[in-house]
Amino acid sequence: MLNYHSIGVEPGNTYVLHPDMLARQMDYLAAHHYTPLTLGDFARIIEKKQPSPERPVLLTFDDGYANNAEVAMPILQRHGFPATLFLSPGFIGQPGYLSWPQVKELSAAGWDIAPHSMTHPHLPQLSIEQQREEITESRRRIEQALGRSADVFAYPFGEYNEDTLKILKNEAFRYAFTTKEGDASPNQSPYELSRIVVLGEDDFATWVQKLSNFGKKELKVPT
C-alpha cells in the first residue's frame, strides 16, 4: 500500500510529490505488471474471497488536496489505475482542497473515497466522544454525498489509541490504515494496516526499493 498526499511542485515539502515523479512511478507500475487495487479488491483479497494478482498494490492519497483531482487523477487514468482517497471532509472547499464536485469526479473515475476524520486532529489528544464525532461524522458526510458505504478509515498523522480502536470496532469499520512503515505480519490487526509513505524527496531508486520491500512483506497482511 503506497501512501501519497499532495501532488505538485513544492520543493522542500516532504508531503508534496512532483507530478513528473508520480507519472514515472505509475509508468513503472504498469511496465512491471503491478495491479493497483480498488479498496473492495483489497478487502476481498485479504479476506481470501478473491485471488490476489501477482503484484497487487493499493494507491492511497490522504487529506483531500485539489491536485489529487487536477493532477494525480489524469496521470492514473492513463493506465486505468484506481486509487483510494482518504478524505477529511472538514477541508472541503478550503483553498487548495477538493470541492464536493471534484470528489464526485474522482469517485466516478474509479477512486474509492474513505474517511480520514473531519478536521485532521491528533486523535489521541481528544476525548473518546470527540474522537467518535471526528470519525463517524467524516464517514457520514462521505456516505451521504456518494451514496455508498465508506467503512475503511485512515488515522490522521497515523495516530490512534485504545479509544480509537474501540470506536472503529463499535462503528463496524472494516479496516484502518496507519502510516507505520514495514513490519506487516500475518497477525496484523485489521485496524493497524501499514502503508509505505512516498516522500517528496525520495529519488526514483529509493521509491523502487520501498516498493520491492512492500512486495515481499506487505502482501501477507492479515489473516
For binding to Zn ion (CB under 5 A), which residues are involved?
62-63, 156
Amino acid identity at 36: P
Decide if 65 contacts 16 (C-beta within 8 A). no
Smallest separation, CB 47 to Zn ion (Å) = 26
* Helix, coil or strand: residue 3: strand
Q: Scanning the structure block, which residue is given the C-alpha cell 456518494?
A: 146
Query: Other CB atoms closer than 10 Å to residue 7's CB: what's the count?
Result: 23
Query: Other CB atoms closer than 10 Å to residue 136's CB: what's the count?
Result: 18
Smallest separation, CB 153 to Zn ion (Å) = 11
* Helix, coil or strand: residue 193: strand
75 vs 154, beta carbon nearer Zn ion: 154
41 vs 62, beta carbon nearer Zn ion: 62
137 vs 217, beta carbon nearer Zn ion: 137
Smallest separation, CB 212 to Zn ion (Å) = 25
Contacting residues for 52 by C-beta, under 8 A, at least 6 apart: 45, 219
Smallest separation, CB 149 to Zn ion (Å) = 21
Smallest separation, CB 198 to Zn ion (Å) = 14
Going by C-alpha positions, the residue among 47, 62, 6, 33 that lies closest to residue 195 is 62
Smallest separation, CB 68 to Zn ion (Å) = 12
- As given in the structure block, the three cell numbers for residue 206 are 529509493
Angle at 130 between CA 133 and CA 149, to 5 degrees: 25
77 vs 130, beta carbon nearer Zn ion: 130
| CB closest to Zn ion, residue no | 62
53 vs 181, beta carbon nearer Zn ion: 181
45 vs 72, beta carbon nearer Zn ion: 72
Q: Which residues of 36-56 are buried (b: 16+ CB within 10 A; e: fewer)?
A: bbebebbbebbeeeeeeeeeb
